[in-house]
Structure 1
């Protein structure tokens, strides 16, 4: 049987390889626990916002919904053991991981203070040691030339942080300041979290920078006239480099610029449950290049006649792993999705969903991709500065959620199609859709090496045709079958490889240089 090597490579690369470094995962379970804890936090926060029936806004510290969500999870306990304070690395947390707010940091145990910049722990002898710091730029922290060095001002006495009516005084060597000095003497690790301002002045994002050691401590006179403690921290070698530049904001498009021009109200022309708008704030292009919007892939007649109908199930009361279900058995006895509709096992080559021949309802948990992702996440086509037209979501997309299908016309390509390869390489260099008429490789046709099948979305396609190429994508491809049983022409479903922020561009590694191979 001939299979697509591009998808095999994607399956192998969806989780970063483990490396023997201080921030690497020794146990994949830890990463899963962290992701589940963060997802539980987001779900709880969403529920609280619904209960209050208010939009997100920062209130007083203890009345804020984000903090209430973290406190609710803490009271529930469950398996969110990450909340416990500890020195050193947090299993499952990687350098560069991004967090919505400070409350999310507490949920995974990265930094357990909602407001203070220094967190610490007390040992059995009553001595305190720093566990983590948040470099939020609220204090007068000096910049340094080396990206692996941080000069951090101690806590207390800053008029920009404390009550303006409180009398200013010199910082004292107590609490967080004392903990940092004790950590310097003990040469223990301190976790560093970087805080970046977003386009919105009231919005911030937090990134884990890795493990540091305190190598120096002194006092200096601050701009407001009082003595403050200053600490020099150096990053431990052997860790992954912090990818996001310290001088730049992290969140590029959390709020839509006021100059954005609406080009089209709905490029799908009513074919999707929710309109898909096209906007442009870059140039004078009025709308994306003309194409025919279709919601289902078009197959050639010779494939449709050869396709076999998929055997259905008789689960009138809903499919379950606890009772015999042929659709579940096709997926090795395990549901491919959890109760929230997210993929549970990315290593599956093909996912078999319930189809028209099944007696279960349309709400069955094994029909995720058929319910559509475009409507759930409100996709939007937009003009990019460095590429052509792209697509993004107006809503937060949780990891492993279904986003959309890549739809077009299935065509037969010559195996040695140089034009196909040239277009792929050109598309990757320009970081656009992989070539001028976007194709996605499916498989070889009939076992012949002289031709192969691909989806051509140049003239007819859906919103998936606007997904641009990236070597570091936030989407991955999952092959799905539900309306027939022919593995040569599966539905090419796009799922979120990681959590995707609102207004962040959706990208895919097309990797067109990899060709089909015999298994």
Structure 2
């Protein structure tokens, strides 16, 4: 199915190549359509992903199996002299760390790793600089076939115990495929950036939906692993070929909240171990070489320097010396081969008590290795990696932003320390690192929308009777029922999926201000800065990492019924108007992937909203968000202080994970053949304006509202 012969027998169903079609066109003002698809070079070998150590789910009603679909590595190394479609692609034999069943896995008692066999043990040499070296000459790998890893379906749901295998054969279930037509959800693309983006967005959309379902059932499970199962079972992955060096579609500075995300895009194939490696052929020789390492704070690594990483080897050092095998051996051989290694650093996720954020920091090379005693008294391997020059900043940006969050006065080139004058919960810096301009045109900063008529004249919203907070799964919560039966936000304040309209709790509700369904009413909770761009005026970016589904801000300004006629006849560059609220746009969530029926008629369209907001004279940080044909932010209608669905609040949320200091953009929209749209009794004129977003999917222009009206 994948265009190349298998090297080892596979006990699973062969991956299905989907004959896919693109999503239908979305209405103006919404982000470009995104679908589900995979990207893999025609001649690339299978992507290697390992099974997580332990079971995590078995709810068959969701349409996914009880564990990951293990994909086995191939038995033969790849000759580096070949030139396949990928710049450098390999067929891995022992690069994956396999979690096995029983007391002995691949010859190592209780080990979850496979150690490459060598015909002769490494020879130690005399140290030259007082440090213990590794060994002097590489040993060639034998041709013994790799034992396929066992499935983990023998685990009981919610149990951490190993299945009993003595005296009987453990039966393993095949992964369950989604029995539905995905042709309306998927699209194929040869653009690796688009492929990786859609894979990550699809995974997170599924994960958020599973989290919503689990919260309603009061089930505490690993939703990331459940979502990974769905993705694997449907072969929704990118970059299936292992490779040395950069991974197509993954950029330096990209962030990941789960290790399975990195597996799905081919950045790193390990879900547990910190070293991803493989056996590769260098001319007539074979060597295990490291492909990627994750510095996740498990070992005593030194990360003070943004360009240097002192990395500790793998293996327990609390009871015994580390051994020169598996990943440690691959790192030593990478020192000899001088191959590039992808480095992923981690930081604490401030939004989670136990979570981490993984940052891809680019390519490094090992310059030195030695052995030293750890605090436990046992020997550990140490490797000094130095970052390759000429790459974009990765962890360096994080360290700067972290410094600014702790002390905003340390930010340089600041024109104004707080453009909101204290109206926001956190100061919004005004920064210019481009030229001598002292700031944008004068406007009144406002955190609220200004209605022409008093808010009391609008229809009130129905309130819930929840005594403390609205709880997921509560059939008596009227606010949940207005939102289709589910609360729209997760427990950690993340939007689950986009809806035509979200109903938040209001003043008529009995629940407290701490209710999760009052998310956007609390205002912005991130550290923003307004900055001068090189050619697009002023823009907006954030010092914090932003998770997909995070609330950004509201579009505030003056709500008007018609476009005012300006004496100068110029365009209003701060005008926001919804063109068509397309109900089929659900932020890349496909219920078919979870075995749920689609709840939206693809032919159904909703009428345009009547609301028009001008932030020319008054507004907040949202007025500085520029247009992009590949946006990272989208808008969502929300009601909470009245019940008139023609005049909702316009709230912005993150489409995907956004690293610190990344410009925030949304899609202004693109007009078609007609020159304007009928709104009430006034005819509003619009025109296309040249787009400078620089995206690979740039349409060349975006929609701009004219300030003239025609009676």
Which residue matches 2:269?
111
Greater fraction of residues in strand = 1
Would the aligned equivalents of 2:539 and 2:624 in 1 still touch at CA under 8 Å?
A: yes
Matched, 1:380 2:529: yes
Which residue matches 1:19?
187
Matched, 1:470 2:617: no
Which residue matches 1:313?
464
Choose from 480, 485, 496 the match for 1:328: 480
Aligned equivalents of 2:534 and 2:541: distance in 1? 14
1:416 Cα offset (Å): 13
Per-residue Cα deviation, 1:19-73 (whole angstroms, up to 9, x for no partner): 3469869x98994369859x99xxxxxxxxxxxxxxxxxxxxxxxxxxxxxxxxx
Choose from 323, 335, 360 the match for 2:511: 360
Per-residue Cα deviation, 1:496-515 (whole angstroms, up to 9, x for no partner): 11111111111111115377
Per-residue Cα deviation, 1:235-256 (whole angstroms, up to 9, x for no partner): xxxxxxxxxxx96526495436
Q: Which has the larger radius of gyration?
A: 2
1:12 Cα offset (Å): 5.1
SS of equivalent to 2:560: strand
Which residue matches 1:455?
613
Would the aligned equivalents of 1:383 and 1:389 in 2 still touch at CA under 8 Å?
A: yes
Matched, 1:371 2:514: no
CA RMSD of aligned residues (A): 5.4
Task: Describe the shift of the 1:89–1:30 C-alpha distance in structure 2 as closer, same or farther (beyond 3 A).
Answer: farther
Task: Describe the shift of the 1:300–1:12 C-alpha distance in structure 2 as closer, same or farther (beyond 3 A).
Answer: farther
Choose from 557, 561, 577 the match for 1:441: 577
Would the aligned equivalents of 1:193 and 1:206 in 2 still touch at CA under 8 Å?
A: no
Greater fraction of residues in helix = 1
1:269 Cα offset (Å): 1.6
Aligned equivalents of 1:322 and 1:450: distance in 2? 32
Choose from 658, 676, 683 the match for 1:500: 658
Q: TM-score, normalised to structure 2's length?
A: 0.42
SS of equivalent to 1:395: coil
Task: Describe the shift of the 1:208–1:275 C-alpha distance in structure 2 as closer, same or farther (beyond 3 A).
Answer: closer
Alignment of 1:48-447 (within 5 A): 80=225, 91-92=236-237, 96-97=249-250, 105=259, 108-109=262-263, 110-112=268-270, 116=275, 118-119=277-278, 133-134=291-292, 205-206=359-360, 248-249=391-392, 251=394, 253-254=397-398, 255=400, 260-301=412-453, 304=455, 307-320=458-471, 321-346=473-498, 348-372=499-523, 374=524, 376-413=525-562, 423=571, 436-442=572-578
Aligned equivalents of 1:35 and 1:250: distance in 2? 31
Aligned equivalents of 2:564 and 2:448: distance in 1? 26
Aligned equivalents of 2:536 and 2:419: distance in 1? 19
Aligned equivalents of 1:416 and 1:162: distance in 2? 67
1:471 Cα offset (Å): 1.0
Would the aligned equivalents of 1:315 and 1:358 in 2 still touch at CA under 8 Å?
A: yes
Task: Describe the shift of the 1:79–1:263 C-alpha distance in structure 2 as closer, same or farther (beyond 3 A).
Answer: closer
Aligned equivalents of 2:508 and 2:287: distance in 1? 63
Task: Describe the shift of the 1:130–1:327 C-alpha distance in structure 2 as closer, same or farther (beyond 3 A).
Answer: farther
Aligned equivalents of 2:227 and 2:279: distance in 1? 15
1:362 Cα offset (Å): 0.8
Would the aligned equivalents of 2:443 and 2:616 in 1 still touch at CA under 8 Å?
A: yes
Q: Which runs of 5+ in 1 are unaligned?
A: 41-75, 122-127, 137-159, 164-173, 181-191, 198-202, 210-222, 225-245, 424-435
Q: Which runs of 5+ in 2 are unaligned?
A: 1-25, 38-184, 212-220, 240-247, 281-285, 295-309, 314-327, 335-339, 346-356, 369-388, 405-409, 581-606, 680-711
1:270 Cα offset (Å): 1.9
